[in-house]
Amino acid sequence: MAVTRKRLVLVGNGMAGVWAVEHLLKLAPDSYDITIFGAEPHPNYNRIMLSSVLAGGVDMDEIVINSLEWYKSNHITLYTGHTVTAIDSVNRTVFSDKGVEARYDELILATGSNPFMLPLPGADKEGVIAFRDIKDCQIMQKTAKTYKKALVIGGGLLGLEAARGLLHLGMDVSVVHIQEYIMERQLDEPASIMLRKELENQGMKFLLKKQSEAILGKKRVKGLLFADGSFAEADLIVMAVGIKPNIELARNSGMEVNRGIVVNDYMETSIPGISAVGECAEHRGIAYGLVAPLYEQGAVLAKRLAGLETEGYAGSVTSTKLKVSGVDVFSAGQFMEPEGTRAMRYQDEVDGVYKKLVIQDDKLIGAVLFGDISDGAMLFSLIKKSENIKGKEKEMLLGFSPEAGSSSQGSRLEGMADDEIICGCNGVSKGAIAEAIQSGGCTSVGQIKACTKASASCGGCKPLVEGLLHLYAGEAAVTVKEGICGCTPLGRDEIVAEIKRMELKTVKEVMNVLEWVNEEGCAKCRPSLNYYLGMLWPEEYIDEKESRFTNERYHANIQKDGTYSVVPRIYGGVTSPADLKKIAEVAEKFDVPLVKFTGGQRLDLLGVKKEDLPKMWEELDMPSGHAYGKTLRTVKTCVGSTFCRFGTQDALAMGIRLEKEFERLNAPAKVKLAVSGCPRNCSEATIKDFGVVAIDGGWELHIGGNGGVHVRATDLLCVVKTDDEVVEWASAFLQYYRENAGWNERTAAWVERVGVESVKQALENREERLALQARIQTTLSRTTDPWKEIVNEPELRKNFEPISQSGTI
């Protein structure tokens, strides 16, 4: 007899709610049909890693916790870009702003928090934003390309993370804070001063004890006025002064709310059938903004929904473990020395280490660590257990002697409770790691990472993960060097060598033969293997579409609202009236909201619906500009000698020739070229991956430039005389880069890593250059415009069905 599944609806696709669903799926996988609504056009991602995305060190794909495939494989109906606007608690139905209705037996509200914006005069000006989601990161990255002065209001964790990201983007950054020292909620004064000095050494500036009065400027912000009459210039102001639970939906639905949505110990709201979890929930008068308590709440909720007995949620003793601009800090419990306590301190200004323990009645009640936080989890465990530490205080403060170190750490780890959270970023407990080692057969940190996600984000918990590995695996534990991802210990060069040696021809074959820990791979290794196989076997390998990122699968760039942008190729920026007319007619037919000229001399059609993409490309009947892929993007040109009185060579013809020569070329990362008709360099050829600059009687060839987040000027490769030589050297360089760079490694980083002289030596022999040119031509001869496949294959068109029709990803 078939079991009737209940209907579970989750409002909020963030870390807290989805983690509760993950836990529920493990406990009762067949009990519910699950529907999730998310306001952002993204799958569930790690908000803790936003500062790394802002700084440019991490791509959006790398912070995704649960891919779209995960939702599909767990039969979860996902509505991205949908905001739930109303709840009918009598008929148990929710309604989204896009007209979707979903009935429920159980409803979870995980609506999170909204950033608190200071109600200052001028706060509505252009250039005043918060720092809360991917959209905010994108605005800051775009602003940094044009403007240079940024102010961050708020000297807490969020403010410092935003400031760090803006600093990496090349902006002049000052942090404005109303208190006399930064991070006063997590650190005491000595630790805060040490942190501020370190950040100042990195280029960050501070305006302390400053109360913001008004934001000045006409349409766009020009500066910030303080209550003491002083003024600071700014092109961008980021408010990072706190968050407030998002309770509007609950309030409008008649639920009891205070600062947050009021819940009991079982995460139930005042309305039957509705629960709340995460930053939006208020439990015993407290709304938590840290990750660990949210995971603890989610575990209780999942057990109750699975019908299992649970003691309920009794609140959390909070701790903060983080890395601020490369500096490790930790705090837990009552670290500000309340009355009736005593404090022990250790400070080493030379090595940048500070430790403070707060003790009351022979029990540890608080701690602050700076620089060395390896004992943080152990101290936090002692705080939570209220264990008597009399006689151990000095040892806890100064650390353990080298000869007793490993055994002492082992005993401390063994004494931790199984539900102790080891990886705060991903909510992985000590028990989950122990199970992965003892039952899952994990014998290395990399395997544990692939199995549980522990240490997969910031990496701060890695020492604890290593300690648990040695505790539970014993002699079976192995130290393995980090591979391209947690699925394998092998690096790029080892993988490529093994593929060639054993003539492996598919992604699945590589993962099987090379003994991948995760037999399905992950978002890091699958795209890289797909590229390496295509690069090594261009005549045989069939591109694996499912191993490509979303933009490459749909051949368009997904935008913040879930629509796409389409960029036809316009060779060298030169087009015709007929093509312009065709683009205009297609844009009108498909109601394209915005048509924009790009920095690469092309037209970008923005706001296209996913379901319109195949038909739109069919009617354009133009090659794709590949604005979305790890391939040749553009060849930027000036008018050269055709029109310009300074031009010495035909830059237009050379640019068009290069673009037609290398269009559709897959590469480890995106590639941009440029051709300038004279040394005045109007097309900015000296910050491109391959730049060509005309001189009297020839061409200068430049390599390894980058105009992005980390600007790098090119290195001069050589000087040639003829157009054919330009193509020969460009072919040889690009193929040598394709064959030797790591996946996702731009030419700028690659040239810096291997050295320009090694590239010159590799290409100096003409016979070798011609061999490289022949190999790149073989690859190019096997490529076709991807849109021809989509247009001609009805089965492929099914991938473009709108989410709003079926509701399922």
What is the reported pLDDT for 404? 39
Kind and range of the H or E element at 525? helix 525-536
The reply to whether 642 and 729 lie within a common domain is yes
The reply to whether 252 and 296 lie within a common domain is yes
Asked whether the predicted pLDDT for residue 805 surpasses 50, the reply is no
Phi, psi of 429 (to 5 degrees): -90, 165
Spatial separation of the C-alpha atoms in residues 221 and 239, rounded to whole Å: 13
Question: Which residues constitute the domain of residue 771?
Answer: 632-784
Asked whether the predicted pLDDT for residue 250 surpasses 60, the reply is yes
Average pLDDT of span 244-272: 97
586 found inside a domain: no
The reply to whether 237 and 250 lie within a common domain is no
Spatial separation of the C-alpha atoms in residues 448 and 436, rounded to whole Å: 7
More confident residue, 744 or 175: 175
- Could you tell me the CATH number of the domain that includes residue 657? 3.30.413.10
DSSP letter, residue 581 = H
CA neighbours closer than 13 Å in the CB half-sphere of residue 342:
6
Could you tell me which residues are beta bridge partners of residue 107? 9, 274
520 found inside a domain: yes
The reply to whether 108 and 170 lie within a common domain is no
Strand-strand pairing, 106-109 and 274-276: parallel
Mean pLDDT of the chain: 87
582 found inside a domain: no
Spatial separation of the C-alpha atoms in residues 273 and 305, rounded to whole Å: 10
Asked whether the predicted pLDDT for residue 528 surpasses 70, the reply is yes
Could you tell me which residues are beta bridge partners of residue 330? 321, 369
The reply to whether 218 and 295 lie within a common domain is no
What is the reported pLDDT for 216? 96
326 found inside a domain: no
Top-ranked range on mean pLDDT: pick from 110-119, 156-165, 385-394, 553-562: 110-119
pLDDT digits (tens, 9 = 90+) for 38-84: 999 989 988 888 877 886 666 777 788 888 889 999 999 999 999 99
Closest alpha carbon to 717 in 739, 686, 679: 686
Kind and range of the H or E element at 634? strand 632-637
Top-ranked range on mean pLDDT: pick from 395-404, 407-416, 493-502, 537-546: 493-502
Q: Is the dihedral of CA 37, 39, 44, 48 positive or negative?
A: negative
What is the reported pLDDT for 482? 67
Closest alpha carbon to 381 in 333, 310, 444: 333
Q: Which of 209, 241, 273 is the last residue of a domain?
A: 241
Spatial separation of the C-alpha atoms in residues 566 and 559, rounded to whole Å: 11
Asked whether the predicted pLDDT for residue 801 surpasses 70, the reply is no
Q: Which of 193, 209, 241 is the last residue of a domain?
A: 241
Asked whether the predicted pLDDT for residue 15 surpasses 80, the reply is yes
Asked whether the predicted pLDDT for residue 518 surpasses 60, the reply is yes
For residue 142, which amino acid is it?
A: K
Q: Which long-range contacts (CB under 8 A, 24 or more apart) does 683-690 make?
A: 683/636, 683/637, 683/638, 683/651, 683/655, 684/636, 685/636, 685/714, 686/713, 686/714, 687/711, 687/712, 687/713, 687/714, 688/636, 688/714, 689/746, 689/747, 689/748, 690/730, 690/733, 690/734, 690/747
What is the reported pLDDT for 792? 63
More confident residue, 3 or 601: 601
What is the reported pLDDT for 484? 80
103 found inside a domain: yes
Specify the number of domains making up the chain: 4
What is the reported pLDDT for 400? 45
98 found inside a domain: yes
Residue 711: count other Cβ atoms within 10 Å of its Cβ: 11
The reply to whether 140 and 63 lie within a common domain is no
The reply to whether 535 and 652 lie within a common domain is no
Top-ranked range on mean pLDDT: pick from 270-284, 452-466, 476-490, 646-660: 270-284
Asked whether the predicted pLDDT for residue 797 surpasses 60, the reply is no
The reply to whether 527 and 646 lie within a common domain is no
Residue for token pair 């299992």: 308
More confident residue, 550 or 704: 704
Asked whether the predicted pLDDT for residue 554 surpasses 80, the reply is no
Asked whether the predicted pLDDT for residue 353 surpasses 80, the reply is yes
Asked whether the predicted pLDDT for residue 659 surpasses 80, the reply is yes
Spatial separation of the C-alpha atoms in residues 635 and 661, rounded to whole Å: 11
What percentage of the chain carries pLDDT values higher than 90? 50
Asked whether the predicted pLDDT for residue 271 surpasses 90, the reply is yes
Asked whether the predicted pLDDT for residue 809 surpasses 60, the reply is no
Dmax over CA atoms of the chain, in Å, equals 86
pLDDT digits (tens, 9 = 90+) for 683-701: 999 999 999 999 989 999 9
Spatial separation of the C-alpha atoms in residues 323 and 459, rounded to whole Å: 9
Residue 682 among known ligand-binding residues: yes
pLDDT band at 483; cut points 50, 70, 90 = confident
Closest alpha carbon to 4 in 39, 23, 30: 30
156 found inside a domain: yes
pLDDT digits (tens, 9 = 90+) for 198-216: 888 888 999 999 999 999 9
Residue 718 among known ligand-binding residues: no
The reply to whether 721 and 740 lie within a common domain is yes
Asked whether the predicted pLDDT for residue 803 surpasses 60, the reply is no
389 found inside a domain: no
Asked whether the predicted pLDDT for residue 790 surpasses 70, the reply is no
Residues 6+ apart with CB under 8 A from 159: 131, 152, 153, 175, 177, 238, 240, 241
- Could you tell me the CATH number of the domain that includes residue 215? 3.50.50.60
For residue 225, which amino acid is it?
A: L
The reply to whether 223 and 200 lie within a common domain is yes
Closest alpha carbon to 438 in 488, 409, 474, 410: 474
Closest alpha carbon to 244 in 112, 128, 374: 112
pLDDT digits (tens, 9 = 90+) for 405-427: 445 556 667 767 777 778 877 77
Residue 522 among known ligand-binding residues: no
Q: Extract the tokens encoding 549.
A: 């990122």
Residue 678 among known ligand-binding residues: yes
What is the reported pLDDT for 363? 93
What is the reported pLDDT for 709? 61
What is the reported pLDDT for 799? 63
The reply to whether 33 and 171 lie within a common domain is no
pLDDT band at 307; cut points 50, 70, 90 = very high
Query: DSSP states of 670-724 as a string?
Result: -EEEEEESSTT-TT-GGGSSEEEEEETTEEEEEE--B-SSS-BPPEEEEEESSHH
The reply to whether 105 and 153 lie within a common domain is no
Q: Which of 531, 548, 565 is the last residue of a domain?
A: 548
